[in-house]
Amino acid sequence: MQRGVTSPLMVEEVEGALNGVLERLKGEGLIAAVLRSGNAPVFPRAYVMLRTVEISTRSIGGSSTRSSQEYELVFEGLGADPIEQYGKVLRAALRAYELIRQDPTLGLSGADVLASPVELRRTDYVDQGRRAIVLSMTVRVSVESTP
């Protein structure tokens, strides 16, 4: 779906493209839900969270805007068997990594976009006697656009 660019930073477009990666995982049966708002009580599930945006402008031979954006793709598993949940969220995170590496432009046009997964972290929580497994993948995205 082609839409107009909302701003030179393309934050909405990048976040939408990353949600598209998660939707693809859902379609492949690797996760049960993609959260955009609210809290679905199904697992494994995933969501995108914007962390930071750094902006710079350049005016050499024309004007361009460059941003460095950092997102978290968060994969959550909760169930009676933490090893099974870990396996599920790990498969989903590794598939997301593969999809982003296959197309680092995230399928976006209208600017130079380059996405790169840079870190994967695990956190465990206990929720009502069950262990929740959370994997967070940091994805850095560079966007350069000219007006």
* Per-residue pLDDT at 6: 53
Higher pLDDT, 65 or 68: 68
Mean pLDDT of the chain: 90
Lowest mean pLDDT among 4-8, 56-60, 119-123, 138-142: 4-8
What distance, in Å, lies between the first and last C-alpha atoms of the chain?
22
In one-letter notation, the amino acid at residue 91 is R
Tokens 């956190």 belong to which residue? 123
- Look up the pTM and report it: 0.89
Polymer length of the chain: 147
**In the chain, domain spans:** 7-73+82-114
